Amino acid sequence: MNNKPLRWGLISTARINRKLIPALRASKRSQLAAVASRTQTAADAYARQWNIPRAFGSYEDLLADPEIDVVYNPLPNHLHIEWSIKAMQAGKHVLCEKPLALTLEAVDELAAAAREYGRVVAEAFMYRHHPQTLKVKEIVDSGKLGEIQLIKGAFTFMLSNENDIRLNPQMGGGSIWDVGCYPISYIRTMLGQEPQEVFGQQVLGPGGVDVSFIGQMRFPGEVYAQFDSGFRTPFRTYIEITGRQGCLHVPVPFSPQMDTRIELVTGERTRSIRIRGQKELYQGEVEDLADAVLLGKAPRISLQDSRANIAAIRALLVSAETQKPVLLK
């Protein structure tokens, strides 16, 4: 790869694009070059709205453009694997929205394609790249909290549109896939381990997907974690990490802004820690992919990491369906 910036193409005009577009424009190593939609009219209108140089009336036409280096895939969950593999077959690197896949077999298929075509593919868990997350990990690893005993987390909000694709089982709907994946990922990241046993309970909506999910995970060393996710509860996000010597409160763990604070409690002392982030919230994942493509660095979120998160989700869903704990290998 030469010194020219990576040229990005957006597959679809998804709402999440508006978060990534400013990050791409803030990056000196990236350039937003094109957008594709299912019709040329829609693509042209979107390109005018966001000042994007080229517009394609199909995803296939964008993938066929030899001047596109990287594809951002924000399609519905059930289309992540299909179009990420097609992008790599066309010689593109891929940043794919979470969840990367809905089954372990699909992740393995994606990993095989990445090896075959020599492309980089990474899951777009934006929070993982934020300075706040890195600081929390630093505190946990430093031993300031002592031996970790329990982590709690939540991500809920009210979803009022009954036709939303997040309620469609054929499209990978369900609160655990949409927002529950965040506390699961966060907990695994902080512990640096995978759960040995999980137990899940869910409330199903009319369409058959979970509108509320409550999960418990047991990790090596008798470390426990609890989380809940949902579409029928007011907006809540938090992570609380408790150790033998202290507790760390993270009030905005999954979408931290430029200026955030976390709270460290040790004994009778409470310390507020201020953390400065990047102006563009999503720039971290853009720069991480640029490091992987241009410098040959391993992405912060490996495919193995993504696979382990999906393994935990799948086990939790099986537990909720069978109403029994599930052991993970």
In a domain, 288, yes or no: no
Supply the pLDDT for residue 1: 47
Q: Kindly give the interhelix angle for 283-295 and 17-26, rounded to the nearest 10 degrees.
A: 60
Domain's final residue, options 92, 124, 156: 124
Measured CA to CA, the distance from residue 160 to residue 158 in angstroms comes to 6
Q: Looking at the structure, do residues 119 and 46 belong to the same domain, yes or no?
A: yes
Q: Looking at the structure, do residues 91 and 220 belong to the same domain, yes or no?
A: no
In a domain, 104, yes or no: yes
CATH code of 93's domain: 3.40.50.720
Measured CA to CA, the distance from residue 312 to residue 329 in angstroms comes to 11
In a domain, 29, yes or no: yes
Q: Looking at the structure, do residues 116 and 132 belong to the same domain, yes or no?
A: no
In a domain, 154, yes or no: yes
Q: Looking at the structure, do residues 202 and 254 belong to the same domain, yes or no?
A: yes
In a domain, 301, yes or no: no
In a domain, 295, yes or no: no
Domain's final residue, options 124, 151, 177: 124
Q: Looking at the structure, do residues 204 and 118 belong to the same domain, yes or no?
A: no
Regions of the chain short of the pLDDT cut 70: 1-2
Domain range for 228 is 128-282+309-327
Q: Looking at the structure, do residues 96 and 133 belong to the same domain, yes or no?
A: no
Return the SS3 of 171: helix
The CA-to-CA distance between both ends of the chain, in Å, stands at 40
Q: Looking at the structure, do residues 171 and 114 belong to the same domain, yes or no?
A: no
Task: Tell me the residue ranges of DSSP E strands in 160-209.
Answer: 197-204
Q: Looking at the structure, do residues 119 and 137 belong to the same domain, yes or no?
A: no
CATH code of 205's domain: 3.30.360.10
In a domain, 92, yes or no: yes
Phi/psi at 74 (5° precision): -105, 25
Q: What is the number of structural domains in the chain?
A: 2
Q: Looking at the structure, do residues 313 and 199 belong to the same domain, yes or no?
A: yes
Supply the pLDDT for residue 258: 84
64 C-beta neighbours (distance < 10 Å), count: 11
Q: Kindly give the interhelix angle for 80-89 and 104-117, rounded to the nearest 10 degrees.
A: 10
Nearest to 120 by CA among 147, 146, 96, 93: 93
Find the angle CA(301)-CA(310)-CA(154) to the nearest 5 degrees: 85
Q: Looking at the structure, do residues 108 and 141 belong to the same domain, yes or no?
A: no
For tokens 């029994």, name the residue.
Answer: 324
Q: Looking at the structure, do residues 141 and 89 belong to the same domain, yes or no?
A: no
Q: How deeply is 273 buried, as exposed, middle or buried, from its count of CB atoms within 10 A (0-12, 13-18, 19+)?
A: middle
Reported as a single tens digit per residue, the pLDDT across 74-119 is 999 999 999 999 999 999 999 999 999 999 999 999 999 999 999 9
Nearest to 320 by CA among 176, 181, 201: 201
Q: Looking at the structure, do residues 113 and 162 belong to the same domain, yes or no?
A: no
Supply the pLDDT for residue 279: 81
Domain's final residue, options 73, 91, 124: 124
In a domain, 287, yes or no: no
**Could you tell me if 228 and 156 are in contact, meaning their C-beta atoms sit under 8 angstroms apart?**
yes
